[in-house]
Chains A and B, each alone.
Chain A
Amino acid sequence: MTQQENLRERLKRLIIESLNLEGMTPEMIEDEAPLFGEGLGLDSVDALELVVALEKEFSCRIEGEETTREAFASVSAMASFVDSLNGSTLSQA
């Protein structure tokens, strides 16, 4: 598994665990599938829940609705977002 695949797997587990998606497995979430609205059917409260989970998991701060909407579009988008955090916030920390 590549580092990217590892991160995506980790994010999928985080999504399932923090949103209490009982009965779902990481394999059931596609990398590019939309998480909100049509896709998994998540909503704004789920987005906030994911923010808290990500902040804990990656020791970062995530601000702004716009950022969140883009970053949480899909698992792929979320992985890129976390990568960008690693490049900026985390390296500075």
Chain B
Amino acid sequence: MKVVITGVGAVSGFGWGVEELCRGLESGATSIRTPSVFDVEGQRTTLAAEVGPPDADAQMEIDHLRNLSRADIFAVIAAREALVRAGLEGGGPRTGVFCGGSTAGMAECEDFVGRIVGVRPGKPMLKLLASQQLNGPGDAVARDIGACGPVVGFSSACASGAMALGAALQAVRSGEVDVALAGGADSLCLLTYSGFNALRSVDPGACQPFRKDRQGLSLGEGAGMLVLESLDQAVARGAEPLAELAGYGASCDAHHMTAPHPEGDGALAAMQAALKDAGLEGIDIDAVNAHGTGTAHNDQSESCALRRLLGDRSPEVPLTAPKGALGHVLGAAGALEAVASVVALERGAVFPTAGSAPADSDLHIDLVLENPRQLPPTSQTWISTNFAFGGANAALVVRRLV
């Protein structure tokens, strides 16, 4: 069964919506800047890709979403956009929600903890915890759209969003659901900001994936949500599929809690599994949406895996790393990057990787820089990868329908 993506929605450092995401990525600029959601005083670094205030219309929409966490709001707004694009009302027993995330309502929970230990003003109100649990964003989406099918949260750190999409793909194929809302959402919080800084894996400037002088990642926030359904159903109801979600693969390094396997064994296994699932091979890949965090180890390991997958073609297959523009949106990364891949496929172009330095020539990859690269009309197949803490890897194959 062919499973297609008929709707996409996004909230990112570039703003509220897929159009904003697309414009931002096309421009080659970054949305990484000084955040305002918390005080970076005492942190080793001071930047993040924060989602700015929405325009008046969107703000009104958000005002109606009462008592939701920041991550919940991102997820709900992105899901609504995806449904509108798909031309679906959503809801009912045949609709499922599969949502990835690493910290859900942690930002609000931190406010509660700050108050209970006496360093923040105000009473520790339970209201702050109403959406703290990891499944919060998925539940918020399901409630908002009236989904009555399975609702499942995925929390495998930086691979959560891709894993949610993988599970949704499986659920549509198996007939468990007719429509799946799948993606991920995460908001900036002190826990992850302090933690990544403690690990000294944050670039003091905006992150520069696959560059020689890369010094680490930048954190970000946002959400990506996609509507999945069978091609037959999409055609029958007259919807226009944006792309095919052709394959999903996952693996685990079982190597180290934080360091990736140096030769990218796990990354390679996940990509191979995704291609096998799609009935394709390495030769079929036309472009790569890389995990590319900008840490020395990730980019080295990932490019090694890509060289092993693509062989001699490695220096010729255009590659983009959206984290230079969007920061690392953790549990939403896989989903937001899948949205980016879908819109790039639509335009037949690869977006540039933000950052000013030249690519690290030792990595032997074709890093797209500065301007979008137009692809030949024959090109059709993207692979998008995500690698998480604990060595959990996931890869998605997205194809243009021809």
Contacts and interface: CB of A to CB of B under 8 A. Distances in A.
Interface of A: 43-45, 48, 52
Contacts of B199: 45, 48
B401 interface: no
B259 interface: yes
6 contacts: A44-B258, A44-B259, A45-B199, A45-B258, A48-B198, A48-B199
Interface string B245-286: 000000000001111000000000000000000000000000
Q: Taking each of B199, B200, B257, which has the highest tally of chain A beta carbons within 10 Å of its own beta carbon?
A: B200
Interface of B: 198-200, 256-259
B256 A43 contact: yes
Nearest to B257: A45
A58 B200 CA distance: 20
Nearest to A51: B200
A73 to B, nearest CB: 19
Nearest to A49: B198
A48 B259 CA distance: 13
Given A44-B259, A45-B257, A48-B199, 8 more contacts: A43-B256, A43-B259, A44-B258, A45-B199, A45-B258, A48-B198, A48-B200, A52-B198
Identify the 6 closest CB pairs spanning chains A and B, nearest first. A45-B258, A48-B199, A48-B200, A44-B259, A52-B198, A45-B257
A48 B202 CA distance: 14
B200 to A, nearest CB: 6
Contacts of A43: 256, 259
A52 B199 CA distance: 10
B204 to A, nearest CB: 11
A44 B199 CA distance: 9
Contacts of A44: 258-259
A52 B195 CA distance: 12
B318 to A, nearest CB: 32
B394 to A, nearest CB: 23
B391 to A, nearest CB: 14
Contacts of A52: 198
Nearest to B296: A65
A69 to B, nearest CB: 13
Nearest to A43: B256
B29 to A, nearest CB: 30
Contacts of A45: 199, 257-258
A24 to B, nearest CB: 21
A45 B258 CA distance: 8
B390 to A, nearest CB: 12
A84 to B, nearest CB: 21
Contacts of B257: 45
Contacts of B259: 43-44
Contacts of B198: 48, 52
A70 to B, nearest CB: 16
B157 to A, nearest CB: 15
A14 to B, nearest CB: 17
A17 B198 CA distance: 18
Nearest to A65: B200
A63 to B, nearest CB: 9
Nearest to A47: B200
B219 to A, nearest CB: 18
Contacts of B200: 48
Nearest to A63: B200
Nearest to B256: A43
A47 B198 CA distance: 12
A12 to B, nearest CB: 23
A43 B257 CA distance: 11
B146 to A, nearest CB: 45
Contacts of B258: 44-45
A80 B178 CA distance: 66
A89 to B, nearest CB: 17
B23 to A, nearest CB: 38
Nearest to B258: A45
Nearest to B297: A44
Nearest to B200: A48
A48 B129 CA distance: 32
A16 B259 CA distance: 23
A44 B259 CA distance: 9
A43 B259 CA distance: 10
A51 B256 CA distance: 20
Contacts of B256: 43
